[in-house]
Structure 1
């Protein structure tokens, strides 16, 4: 049932001369709590025909089940409501939720107190354009837009919004010059075989306690540094010479007591890898070292079976945190006269390059590293194997010249 009328008319049944606007009222069902009928009203139409046309459109939406009652919720309110839903899905890591929080903050600069329903496509496009003008990196802009799309998509799903302002958004990208393309290095930095040998020699001679065990393990296994920090003795099978990777270390504040162990980065990151005698023997030495430290601090030692732990008097037994390992490596690189910009993750690339040099296939390397598809690993592999092919060609040439 619907009704067209002038709610503010003061003419009392006479021909209207007061200029009041027209409105419509439509029955939209029954309130489940009270049993009374629910109505939708809208006013402000200049003519009766305008009110009738709007009423007909509304009734059509009701009939097709596509009517959405937009609310006055602000972007900020709904964004954090979405984040709560997103986190509660149980499918995303805490670190990913933290990234989404940062990306929401980028969007709050533009939409925080605006009503969600009032944000237009032009406003949203201008916001994305402005992020570019402010000098944010491409990954930051892409991430903010990705989060924005998820927020507005959820608003549509929950029927608090009729149109998605992100639907036709174009993310601006910096056009690279020919010089930039030619100078771009596709292959990440890593240590060559002799450089790694030198690095480990420096580590053994000049490293602090546990340094040699840590960097030998990273170099010989290709573990992510977070996977190594989360490693427990029960994950290592000395007899079978294997390591099981089932978790990763997370501690964005570097507060040793506030660490968390999370599931691996990807499903393929959970894996079992083989290790050789060199690693086994070093781990056994390290285990003896750790047992002595446990005895020294037995009254306060935080014994949770971690392989690499703090040995100081304040918090002995807590697992090493990533920043500490990064700082330790920077010190050793400087002492060894090597590239100080390398990181523990560079040892993962180093492991890839040496496996490729040893003739291990790309699928085997990917499996060992816990990758399903990783362009960086492929770039390292292709770079190394390309150089090997060049070397083979050169050797053939030399052979023919000596005939």
Structure 2
């Protein structure tokens, strides 16, 4: 029979278990924090029923912070270093509030409330990353029978309401360059760019490579005679220290691919190869030759942050006010493929999307932009006529 009491405005209960055969002491389970006598009685009855039918799991007193360390050590054995780092960053938002809290005491409401709070500061994509991390942690605890249920179950992702002003101010052309804009940008790059800028941004725009795939390229990945390029790895360097990089497998299985490259890119690569060989001979043993295409003066792969800085330098010179990132050249390539009439399946293979839905989402977004542009051009034409 449970003993129920009230302390400091909250109700609690204590249930006696069988006597410990080793110590001879009586075991007890105490739960507290209930808002009413009835709530405490119901919880006590459920616990007694679990004891009677043998389904009771003795929830661990381990804290969320301590268990996170165990989970991360387990996760490191099966995931890339980039994924481990991303999960660690996402988990910080949960550790901020639950580091010293016992794992079993984190409820579904607490979890929902925390992510609702985080949704006010972060994007839906980042919030989804936090939730995925939380779900993995609690699922692992559940598998080890440290908790009875997963508080992330039935979690509802908060939906940000868009105001009319937000929708009206949204620029549908942001994020990628039109064909004429790309042409102008590359002309400006040819005139004002630093060494290899023309090769870097032309290759990005003409291949749709991710920036990590680009800087990880080695000359052995390129077949000049067949005009093809093989993607087998990606670059990872969270510290931006040029000598402390790691080469990882690509983002997905579908990212391992061979693509045909344009004569323009081939021509730029051949010229770059000649200059690079001259530089290597000049440097001698100082140059750490790992066969990278886009290498620093010392032979290390080019740091992505440096490429970003170069892009930010060139955009104002091109009078381009759009928010264009390095990934925007991948979207630019996609839009040009669509404009050229390339099929969805071919686009999927060229971009290295394992999931066709990823390609479909981008395709739908790009074609919508083109429809908007066509409508605007038609309206402008009719306005001039009228």
Give the TM-score, by structure 1 length.
0.78
Asked whether the equivalents of residues 25 and 39 of structure 1 are also in contact (C-alpha less than 8 Å), the reply is no
Matched, 1:292 2:278: yes
- What residue in structure 1 maps to residue 263 of structure 2? 277
- What residue in structure 2 maps to residue 48 of structure 1? none
Q: Evaluate the alpha carbon distance shift between residue 233 and residue 115 of structure 1 in structure 2; reply closer, same or farther with a 3 A threshold.
A: same
Which is worse superposed, 174-183 or 206-215?
A: 174-183
- Of 292, 298, 304, the match for 1:322: 304
5 Å-filtered alignment, 1:299-314, equals: 299-311=285-297
Higher CA-based Rg: 1
- Of 127, 145, 156, the match for 1:159: 145
Asked whether the equivalents of residues 246 and 271 of structure 1 are also in contact (C-alpha less than 8 Å), the reply is yes
Per-residue displacement from partner, 1:132-172 (whole Å, max 9, x unpaired)?
45x33333333222222221111111111112223343343
Report the Cα offset of residue 251 of structure 1: 0.8
Asked whether the equivalents of residues 199 and 336 of structure 1 are also in contact (C-alpha less than 8 Å), the reply is yes
Matched, 1:357 2:339: yes
Report the Cα offset of residue 308 of structure 1: 0.8
- What residue in structure 2 maps to residue 113 of structure 1? 100
- What residue in structure 1 maps to residue 367 of structure 2? 382
5 Å-filtered alignment, 1:4-153, equals: 23-25=16-18, 41-42=27-28, 57-61=50-54, 66-89=55-78, 92-132=79-119, 135-153=121-139
For 2:221 and 2:317, how far apart are their aligned partners in 1? 33
Q: Which runs of 5+ in 1 are unaligned?
A: 5-20, 29-35, 46-50, 398-403
For 1:114 and 1:186, how far apart are their aligned partners in 2? 45
For 1:242 and 1:168, how far apart are their aligned partners in 2? 47
Helix, strand or coil: the match of 1:216? helix
Report the Cα offset of residue 391 of structure 1: 11
Q: Evaluate the alpha carbon distance shift between residue 169 and residue 40 of structure 1 in structure 2; reply closer, same or farther with a 3 A threshold.
A: farther
- Of 323, 328, 331, the match for 1:341: 323
Helix, strand or coil: the match of 1:176? coil
- What residue in structure 2 maps to residue 236 of structure 1? 222
Report the Cα offset of residue 365 of structure 1: 1.8
- What residue in structure 2 maps to residue 7 of structure 1? none
Per-residue displacement from partner, 1:15-68 (whole Å, max 9, x unpaired)?
xxxxxx98442689xxxxxxx8999833789xxxxx99976742421xxxx342
5 Å-filtered alignment, 1:184-223, equals: 184-185=170-171, 188-223=174-209
Per-residue displacement from partner, 1:339-365 (whole Å, max 9, x unpaired)?
363122221122122222222222212
Report the Cα offset of residue 322 of structure 1: 0.9
Asked whether the equivalents of residues 273 and 368 of structure 1 are also in contact (C-alpha less than 8 Å), the reply is yes
Report the Cα offset of residue 93 of structure 1: 2.8
Q: CA RMSD in A?
A: 3.3
Asked whether the equivalents of residues 24 and 52 of structure 1 are also in contact (C-alpha less than 8 Å), the reply is no
Q: Evaluate the alpha carbon distance shift between residue 56 and residue 269 of structure 1 in structure 2; reply closer, same or farther with a 3 A threshold.
A: closer
- What residue in structure 2 maps to residue 32 of structure 1? none
Report the Cα offset of residue 122 of structure 1: 3.1
**Corresponding residue pairs, total:** 354
